[in-house]
Every structure is written in structure tokens, then in C-alpha cells.
Structure 1
Amino acid sequence: MSIDPTKDIISLSDVIKQVPQFAKKIPNVLSGLRHAYLRRPSTTCGLGWAFEKAVEKNPDGSALLYEDEQFSYTELNIWANQIADYFLSIGAKKGDVIAVMIENRPELVATVLGLAKIGVVSALVNTAQTSKVLSHSINLVKPFAVVIGEEVQQAVLDIQNDLQLAQDKFFWFADDDSSTSAPKPFTDLAQVSKTCRQDNPSATQEICGKDGLFYIYTSGTTGMPKAVIFNQNRWMLAYGTYGHVLNLDTDDVMYATLPLYHATGMVVCWCGVIAGGSALAIRRKFSKSNFWKDVQKFDASAIGYVGELCRYLLDCEPTPEERQHRVRKMIGNGMRSNIWHEFKERFGVEEVLELYASSEGNVGFSNIFNFENTVGFSPTPYAIIAFDKEKNEAIRDADGFCRKVKKGETGLLIGKITRRSPFDGYTDAKNNESVIMQDVLSTGDKYFNTGDLVRDIGFRHAQFVDRLGDTFRWKGENVSTTQVENIVSEYDKIAEAVVYGVEIPNTNGRAGMAAITLQDGKSLDDGDLASMVKAFKAELPAYAVPVFLRIQKHIETTGTFKYSKNKLKEQAFDPEQCQEKILVLLPGESAYCEVSNDVLNKINQGEYRF
């Protein structure tokens, strides 16, 4: 299906029409840009510095809301200082890494803030990880210590012997007041830090842009999760741009149910809150039935989102609460064009600050002019170049250079690597080589390959179209196909697996599908349909478990022995097109079943809520 080249095109006159609305933000935007760009490399900056500025601005105002708990800026700052002082007392120093694995609750926020104040890097571990993936993620960053919540202690205890960590460096927060003492080898961090110093550590004043802040895990394009370096400078860019464009103030409350081990929640939502001296309201896990009730409870004026969250809310039956609130703005990414206008109209939201960024990337877009159906405007140097989807490579001319697409066309988004837009990269330098393109538009230039197809809609605005390579997005998470392929292939009857994402009508992102071949002489019986699910769930987060299985006699490869995924994606889960047996894991079920014509029709008609 071709795209109308004139659809959603933005012109200078369109931007001029939006200027009166944008003009109200200009003082705040200019202040933010000063923080983002007009700093010397040695200037004190970062999360800890910015939070202390917010404490000065709004000492008694609410900083953090959770369930029935409320922490003022002063109270949260003291708590973070005590955690910082404790880790300094046991030898942690700037540049060390501590793996943090806690669900969305105040202990996570206080820990990350405390570590940021002393220059210790928080490795934000996905709380859904288990087994080999979890041990890989923790060992990858060579941590000084690990801090977990009681809610994930069993997953960590299961891999304790695989971790390259001293036994006295395991720390723990109770899940609630009724919890018992920390199990061995954990130390109760709340207990050992409660008598520590409450004043701001002097170390915060020694932190500058190049110093590390987070490791955020990304599936990348192959294999196990990769740890992306997110330094203080990148946080300041987000704080100075997204944070100030959002234009929150001390009476605002941002409600965020996104997992805080992802940059959208931890960086984008929180930096907007800190920039305004506002309150961050968090929930342990997203609940569509409680979403608007929580918005009312916390008196939220802004919300953080990803596209899947928006679709879930639209799927709900209308309630009085969904209009009885003061939310007028939202910030996030992945809002699909087919629900954008409907969402704003139904829930009374006036401003959608859609953005585009990646944990490892050097190019960002922000919808500062509040247009619909766009990731927004980018001030950073980038190009959208012609791309051959069949060959899976950028198109180069006879001289070896790439060509920028025309307005209205789709191409590969690449970010120019400059001093102002550096590529910080992954922990493993080898992973950086595959994402850097050289001699792209001129001899000697370097660009970061985002792996994303976007459409140029004019005036430095773009629309997100699709994600390339061996990663797809489902349930708000990036899924590495190689990681899933490795786990699926470990099942004793499966010889080989190819994993890819397929679209299901009325859903966001792509659901996981695995084309599998069986071991010689093996076949799948009814018992396998349940045991496969159990095996996959033991090794994979729920969002990465394949929704569909396609049973093949052999898997087609290209002349260079790469899997031919394009054809598999096109045929998806339609048994008639595939001419092979297709299995599906329906919502709420614990075993795969065959995709019959009746099941296929119900999937396509949206009767199952994946």
C-alpha cells in the first residue's frame, strides 16, 4: 500500500500558524537550550545537580507520589543523600557501576538519584529478566554492587552463583512494611543507610557532562541485551530540550506508569518533572482499569505514554473519570496516526509531545509545534537516505555516496556524528562498528545508523514508519530476534528457529512469530503445546514469548545464508498463504493451539485482545 506523498506534509506556513501557541514556551525553551548546549565540558551538571536546583526552587512541594505515599523535594533529596553516603562509605566512587533492579516504586527513584549524586552509574536492569539473560545483563557492566527489590529476589537468587560479584555487595529493599529481614546474601539497604548523612554530597559538584549516569539495556540488533552508555551530557540534552519544552511548573503532576528501566520513563518523563519542580506520580505496573482513577487520585496534569498504552486506553469502555481530570499534555513516543486525533478528542488532551530518540542514538525529534502524526522537529544534524528493503542496505550511487529522499518519501534515518551530536555507543566497542556509516554524503563524514525507516514530511519534521533489522517492538518493549531464536531452539524437539515480528490488526507494534523446523523424526504432540510455553516463559520475558509458531520442513535462506524474513513477514500467520501449520498462543492461555479459519477470523476482527 503506497503512501500519499502529500499527506501530512508540513510547510513553513503551517509552522507559522502554530507560533502563537509555541510562543508561550519560548522563555522556558531558551532557558533549556542554555542548559543543553551552552556549557563547557568541565561545567558541573547532570541529574544530581538539576535535582538539587529543583529542591531549592520547591523545597516543600511534592517530588514523588506513589500509592498513598508522598515525598517532598526535601524529603526525597535527604533519602537519596543517605543512600549516596552509604555507598561512599563502603568504597564506591565516581565511574563505578551498580546494577539496580527494582520495580516502579520510590526505592528505585531514591537509589538512582543517590547514585547519580556521587557519579556512580546505575545499570537499569529490566525487572522481567530471568535466568541466562539476567546474569548476562548484570555481568556485562562489571558492577561494584547490585541493588534489588524484594519482588525480584528469587530471579537474582537463581543466578547468584553466576554473578561476578562479592557476596557482601548484594543489597535489598523490602517490598512493604510487613516483609521479613533480607535473605542471604542480601543486606537491607534501608536499614544500613538510615543513619547516614543527610546533606548534599560534595561529589555532585565534581560531576560533568562526560561522566556516566545510566546503563540502559537495549536488544540492539543481535543476541543478548546490550548496555548503552547514557552519560550526564545526554541527560542534560533531554532536560534542556524535552524537559523544558514540556513546560511544567510547581503545581503540575506527571503520571508515569512506564517502566523506569526504560529511557522514556526514567529520562524523558522525570527530566520534565525536575525542570519544572513538579511531582512525579508512579505506579508499580500499568493498569488500564485504574489509569484514569489514578490520574484523578494524584490530580495529574500530564501523562507519559508509549503507543501501546494509548491503544489500551482507547479499548476500554468510556468512564466518567476519563474526562474528569486536568491532563492537557502528554509526552512519549509511538502514538499511531490512526488513533492520534481520536485519543486527543476522547480524553480531552490538547498537546501530544511525541518524540523520537533511542537509548544509543545521537539524533532526536520532538513535536514542539504540536502537529499531529509526526515525531516532530529535529535541531540535530541528520539525513533520511534512500534504502533498498530487499537488499537491506542503503542505496549508493556510482561514486559510492547515498542520496537523501525527497519530501514525502520514506528512507533510512541516520544521525550525523559531530562534537555536539556524538555517538557514545555500547559497552562493547565491536558493537559500535555495525551501526556507524562512513562516507555517506561526502568523503570523511560519519553517521549513526538508527535502523529505522522514517518519512520526510518537510520543515525538518518526520514520521516514523518501521524498524529494520533483527529487532521489533511489542508491548512497549524492543525484542531481539536473535535472543528469542536462541531460546526457542533450545527446546528439545526444535532444530532451528527464525523469529520476526508480524502485525496483528488493532494492535501496536509487531507480535513475535517463530518459523521452526523440528529435529529429525520428531513431531509436536498436545503435551508439547503447553510445555513449549512453559519453557519459553522460563527463559524469556512475557513480551518476548512468540505469539505464533510456523512449523516448516526447512527454513529458506539467501545466497549468503541469511534467513529470508521478508517473505515470512508478508505471509504472517495466515495458514492459506503459508500452506503450513500455524500455532498461536491466545491471550490468557497456557498452551499453543492451531490457527483454524475460525481462530484467524477472530484474530483479524479483534476478538482476542493481545
Structure 2
Amino acid sequence: MPQALLPEAAGETMGFIERIKSELAYVRGALRALRKVSSAAKNRNRTFPDLIEDIAREHGDRPAMIAENERMSYREYNERANQYARWAIANGVKKGDCVALMMPNKPEYMAAWLGIARAGGVTACLNTNLRGPVLANCVNIVEPKHIIVDTAIADGFHSADPFLQTKAEYWAYGSGVDAWKRLDEALDTFSRDPLEASERPKLTTSDRCLFIYTSGTTGMPKAANINHYRVLAISLGFNGAMDMKPEDRIYVCLPLYHTTGSVLASGAALTAGASVVIREKFSASQFWDDVVDYECTIFQYIGELCRYLLNSPTHPKERQHKLRLACGNGLRPDIWEDFKNRFAIPKILEWYAATEGNAVFFNFDGKVGSVGRIPKWAERRFVTEIVRFDYSSEEPKRGPDGFCMKCAPGEVGEVISQIIDDPSRPSQRFEGYADPKATEKKILKDVFEKGDMWFRTGDLMKKDEMGYFYFIDRIGDTFRWKGENVATSEVAEAITVYPGVKDANVFGVAVPNTDGRAGMASLVVEEAFDMSGFYAHVERHLPRYARPIFLRLQQSMEMTGTFKQRKVDLVREGFDPNRIADPLYMLHPEKQTYVPLDTGLYEEVESGDLRL
């Protein structure tokens, strides 16, 4: 038999072809993104507001943003920003001063922070879902000069009143709050014409533009510093990565107070002369109507958004769209292909990045399950490593020489990215947070040599021989049980493929008289859920130490505004039936099946009479 026809030779040929295809995809995608971003790195005096001004002149009456009850052309977007800039200047906002903004998703939001940035101000993008002391903390840490609140959500903001420590001036967008000044009325008194040179502050890409908050899934949110370079780099980088054209329309139902919605997705479209279709909130029932009716060609996702859609009933328009691309992060391997095939998505662009971080990579060739890849030829430009991790101390391990140790292919560790303060390499900078102490906690020093500094992502990943990264878990989510490390994401992937499981949130809970934390899963299930079949599935697909000991059945999963699962309250409530109204089950160590967890059984576990 000729060598060319041998099965192993054919396999090697296919592997070579796949590798070439992958390299070509990365070369094309990376070059598009780098060409766009390089312009921002070269001209330090050209900021995002300057770029939008030029694009508005070019695209004029083309729709910049489209919402259910509002459209804003590029000309109107830029002119409205001019009014915000003049309002800010007239009210004493100087370069570096903060203006806090709490407003639902709508075109006005984008015009507000563009105008404030044009005046030299820094917009703190407040999470519209936060309340009370958490919201107050977000305001207090940035020390705003002015606070803008849309009156549609004024009641939510008022919940923070007893905890606020600010001398800021309050502005209401809309009627209904008599004690505050009316911003919408004040704006209309200012000219929409371009600002004169004498009115404009001197800005560079190193100046701060936004405060964007981390989601706060495990504690108080932190205000990340986003400078003008980072706004440009994210917008232009994703513009290139998605190969944006003026004809594109991107569907954005993610919150504009977060990087993904306002800078990444919207910024990518707006820097290309394309259109942003804005929905106030994600709705699984409305999603395909919007995508089809507005003729969207791209949509921005978060992994849980995809899971919601996949768990939703069939929609008559779900395959009638004009989509060419779905772009986002967090699409888990267990639903990747089902999602792509059911909804006929031509291409998925998964990526990895953090609001405040300097580590970024793309999955340009659609490798299922991977969050991206850094090819060998790009490693010197994007200096990112995976280092061995100590789960007990939640710190990277260090060898006898005191330095960190790189992981071998397939070995799980923490992703870190080198911090380089070099004007020619602004993408490797780390701007930190409003709180200097929070900034210090994210910096790892003396990693591979004395004096070097690296950004800690807080994410556990592994990398294969080809350089593909695979997300494992967030540090703090992984827990130890029976002397083994349990990755909550891997457990969730294993159990969500069981029929009837709509969603799963996995975490560890403390059990008296045991070491480590026992696994627990909060599940959203269908009505006819087969508990005995679920146990058989868990036994077959998970090692003994990784099987959830406790189950909690909920009607819905509590999420952050950016579709990240909340775990803090679930961990605190644990498996106590006296505190929890939801049905609870326990994997009984003697009966080897899940049984209802009542007060009597709970007391047996708590006392140690029933050992796990």
C-alpha cells in the first residue's frame, strides 16, 4: 500500500493542513487588529473623541445607534457629545475630574461619556442593578464632582443615600426628582457645534477616560482605570478582529456600563462607521425578533446568554437572520457546537480579556472550547504565561530559587501577563484601580527575575502544545475536597449536559469535621426532572471527589448584570434547610443516591454522626 494512503500518514497530513489553516486564520485576524491598534499607539495626542469627530464628518446621517424608540445618526451622536462637553466645562469639570453616570442602555448613554471625555472628564459607569451600600461604595471610591441619574432608575439610586459620602452635585436626566437639577433641559441650552481649540483640554492617550467596575461576584466591585489608549485599543482592536464594515450592524443587549457593551462592541462598530442596535436588557423571547427585524450581522455574547437562548423554546426566526458572526467570551464547550448548529451561526469569535488586565487572546479559527491562542510568532509581543498555582494559599508557587514556575502543556495554573511601562508597548501596561491597595493586589513581583512585574488575571487555565488556552475556573471558585482540587466550571459542564438541567451554579460549602469544602450545585431544572437518572449521570461522568454532595433546586439563577453567576449568598446559606426554602438534596453516603435533605439529616451531618 503506498505510503500516501496509509491511515497514519493521512492523519498526519490532515493535522498539518489543520495547523496551516489555523496559522492563516491567526495571521489574518491578528494583522487586521494590529493594523487598527497601531495607529492609536503611534499618535498619543489623538483620542477616541477625536476619532469619532472625524468619523461623524465622514458618515454624517448614517445611523450610529438604533434603539426601540430612538435613532441617533453619527452627526447627532457627535453633536450631542458636544453639548455634554460644554455642560461639563460650564459646571467646572476639568481634566481628570469624575462624573458618575447611572443610566439604562440607550444611545444617550454613549453620547454622555463621549462628551464628558471630550471635556477631559472621567465617567464612572455605575451598574444600574446595584443598590444600597454596594452602590454607595462605587460612588464613594471615585469621588465624583457630579452624579447623573436617569429618573427611570432614580429609586434604585436613592437606596444608596444613607451610605453616600460625597459632595457631588446631582443631575436628573428626565423629570420626577424635584430636588435635582434637570440635565436634559440644561443640555439643550448648549451649542451642538464643534468645540473651538480654546475650549478643548489638551488630552493624550495616557489620560484617564472611564472608570469601569468589576462585577463584584465575590466582594465589593473595584473601579478599573481605563485610559484613552485602552478605549481606542479595545474599540479598534475588536473592529479589526471582527473585520467591521460600515454595512455591519451589531446587536448589543449587554449593559453599556461594562466594557463589553460600551467600549468593545459599540466602540468597534462606531470606529468603523457601522451601526449599534441597542436593547435595554437581554430578553431570550425578544432576541431573534430584534436580530432579524433590525437586520443585524453580528451579535455580542456572554456565555450564559448563549445558554439561555439554547434552553429557550424554538423561535420561528432563529435561523432567518443575516448574522455572519457571534463575538464574545465564556461560551462553554458543552454547548458550543449545539449553539452554533441550532442557530446556524456562520462563525464564532471567542476571546479572552479582562476590563483592567493586559492579557488578551482570540480564537480566530473557531477551535471548540478554547478561549484563544497566542501563536509562537506573537509570543514576544503578547507576553503571557501560565504558572503553577498553590491552591491552599491561592498564590502562584515558587521554586527553590524563589521564582515562579511555568506550567507544562496540559497543566493547570494561573494566567499572568507581563507589565511593561514602555510608551512603544502601551498594551502591556496595567492602569490599576481607583483604590491603590486593590491595584497592588493584582501585581505579582519578582516572577522570573528580580524586578519584573506581572498582572494576575485570577483565572486558572491550561494550554496545549499548539498554544490554545482553555479556561478552567476563577481562583476562589476552585475548591479542595478529599485532598483533590475541584474546578467548579468542569463540574458544571459535566452536569448541564444531563437532560432536564437548564443551568447549574457549582460551589464549595464548609462541612463541620471535614477538611476542605464539599461540592454543592444550585440547579434550574425542568418539571419532569429525573433525580435518580441524574445521580447515575454524575457517577458516570465525575470522579467521586468532584460529585456534588448537596443540590439546591431553584426557579431561576441569580446573575450579575454581565451574566456572571452570583455565588456569595449561595455559599453563605450553604445547605441548611432552616434557612433555605428551595428543595434540597444530599448524596447519601450509604444509600448512594440523592435523597431529600431535611432538618434531621442536616443535623446528622452537622454533628458528624453521618460522615461524608
Shared topology, TM-score over 0.5? yes
Structure 2 residue identity aligned to 1:244: G
Does the 8 Å contact 2:419/2:429 carry over to 1? yes
The structure-2 alpha-carbon separation of the partners of 1:425 and 1:11, relative to structure 1 and needing over 3 Å to count, comes to farther
CA distance in 1, matches of 2:337, 2:170: 48
Moved more, 129-138 or 181-190: 181-190
Corresponding residue number in structure 1 for 2:359: 363
Corresponding residue number in structure 1 for 2:172: 172
CA distance in 2, matches of 1:555, 1:358: 38
Corresponding residue number in structure 1 for 2:347: 351
The structure-2 alpha-carbon separation of the partners of 1:136 and 1:35, relative to structure 1 and needing over 3 Å to count, comes to same
Does the 8 Å contact 2:364/2:372 carry over to 1? yes
CA distance in 1, matches of 2:417, 2:386: 9
Moved more, 328-337 or 235-244: 235-244
The structure-2 alpha-carbon separation of the partners of 1:459 and 1:508, relative to structure 1 and needing over 3 Å to count, comes to farther
**Pairing partner for 2:42 from 35, 38, 43:** 38
Does the 8 Å contact 1:182/1:188 carry over to 2? no
Corresponding residue number in structure 1 for 2:603: none
Corresponding residue number in structure 2 for 1:496: none
Deviation at 1:450, TM superposition (A): 0.9
CA distance in 1, matches of 2:253, 2:595: 30
**Residue by residue, what CA displacement relative to the aligned partner does 1:514-537 show, whole Å, maximum 9, x if unpaired?**
95xxxxxxxxxxxxxxxxxxxxxx
**Residue by residue, what CA displacement relative to the aligned partner does 1:46-81 show, whole Å, maximum 9, x if unpaired?**
321222232133112110000042111001111121
Deviation at 1:91, TM superposition (A): 1.0
Structure 2 residue identity aligned to 1:209: T
Corresponding residue number in structure 1 for 2:555: 586
The structure-2 alpha-carbon separation of the partners of 1:158 and 1:25, relative to structure 1 and needing over 3 Å to count, comes to closer
**Pairing partner for 1:248 from 244, 249, 269:** 244
**Residue by residue, what CA displacement relative to the aligned partner does 1:7-60 show, whole Å, maximum 9, x if unpaired?**
xxx988645214666676677445313224334xxx223321222232133112
Does the 8 Å contact 1:503/1:511 carry over to 2? yes
The structure-2 alpha-carbon separation of the partners of 1:586 and 1:81, relative to structure 1 and needing over 3 Å to count, comes to same
**Pairing partner for 1:595 from 567, 574, 584:** 584
**Pairing partner for 1:291 from 287, 290, 298:** 287
1:461 aligns with 2:468: yes
Structure 1 unpaired stretches of 5+: 1-9, 175-180, 473-499, 516-549, 557-563, 604-610
CA distance in 2, matches of 1:236, 1:392: 34
**Residue by residue, what CA displacement relative to the aligned partner does 1:186-224 show, whole Å, maximum 9, x if unpaired?**
222111111211123346673211111111111569642
Structure 2 residue identity aligned to 1:235: V
Deviation at 1:373, TM superposition (A): 2.1
The structure-2 alpha-carbon separation of the partners of 1:321 and 1:183, relative to structure 1 and needing over 3 Å to count, comes to same
**Residue by residue, what CA displacement relative to the aligned partner does 1:273-327 show, whole Å, maximum 9, x if unpaired?**
0231111111111000110100012110000000000111111222231111111
Query: TM-score with structure 1 length normalisation?
Result: 0.76
- Where in structure 2 are the equivalents of 1:207-606 lying within 5 Å? 207-219=203-215, 223-378=219-374, 379-419=381-421, 420=425, 421-469=428-476, 503=492, 505-506=495-496, 511=505, 566-569=516-519, 585-587=554-556, 592-596=581-585
SS in 1 for 2:448: coil
Does the 8 Å contact 1:586/1:592 carry over to 2? no
CA distance in 2, matches of 1:508, 1:53: 47
Structure 1 residue identity aligned to 2:103: I
Corresponding residue number in structure 1 for 2:601: none
Corresponding residue number in structure 2 for 1:145: 146
Root-mean-square deviation (Å): 3.5
* Count of matched residue positions in the alignment of Structure 1 and Structure 2: 512
Deviation at 1:459, TM superposition (A): 4.5
**Residue by residue, what CA displacement relative to the aligned partner does 1:560-605 show, whole Å, maximum 9, x if unpaired?**
xxxx7x523468899x99999976543399972341479x9799xx
CA distance in 1, matches of 2:384, 2:30: 24
SS in 2 for 1:372: coil
Corresponding residue number in structure 2 for 1:559: none
Corresponding residue number in structure 2 for 1:195: 189
Structure 2 residue identity aligned to 1:171: W
Q: Whose Rg is larger?
A: 2
Structure 2 residue identity aligned to 1:192: A
Does the 8 Å contact 1:47/1:232 carry over to 2? yes
Structure 2 residue identity aligned to 1:94: K
The structure-2 alpha-carbon separation of the partners of 1:572 and 1:328, relative to structure 1 and needing over 3 Å to count, comes to closer
Q: What is the aligned-residue identity percentage?
A: 31
Does the 8 Å contact 2:251/2:296 carry over to 1? yes
Query: TM-score with structure 2 length normalisation?
Result: 0.76
Structure 1 residue identity aligned to 2:386: I
SS in 2 for 1:276: coil
Does the 8 Å contact 1:35/1:240 carry over to 2? no
Does the 8 Å contact 1:247/1:276 carry over to 2? no
CA distance in 2, matches of 1:205, 1:458: 49
Corresponding residue number in structure 2 for 1:156: 157
Does the 8 Å contact 1:365/1:376 carry over to 2? yes
Deviation at 1:162, TM superposition (A): 3.7
Does the 8 Å contact 2:403/2:446 carry over to 1? yes
Corresponding residue number in structure 2 for 1:98: 99
- Where in structure 2 are the equivalents of 1:58-137 lying within 5 Å? 58-137=59-138
CA distance in 1, matches of 2:107, 2:311: 30
Moved more, 462-471 or 419-428: 462-471
**Residue by residue, what CA displacement relative to the aligned partner does 1:454-512 show, whole Å, maximum 9, x if unpaired?**
1112444312111102799xxxxxxxxxxxxxxxxxxxxxxxxxxx9984832799637
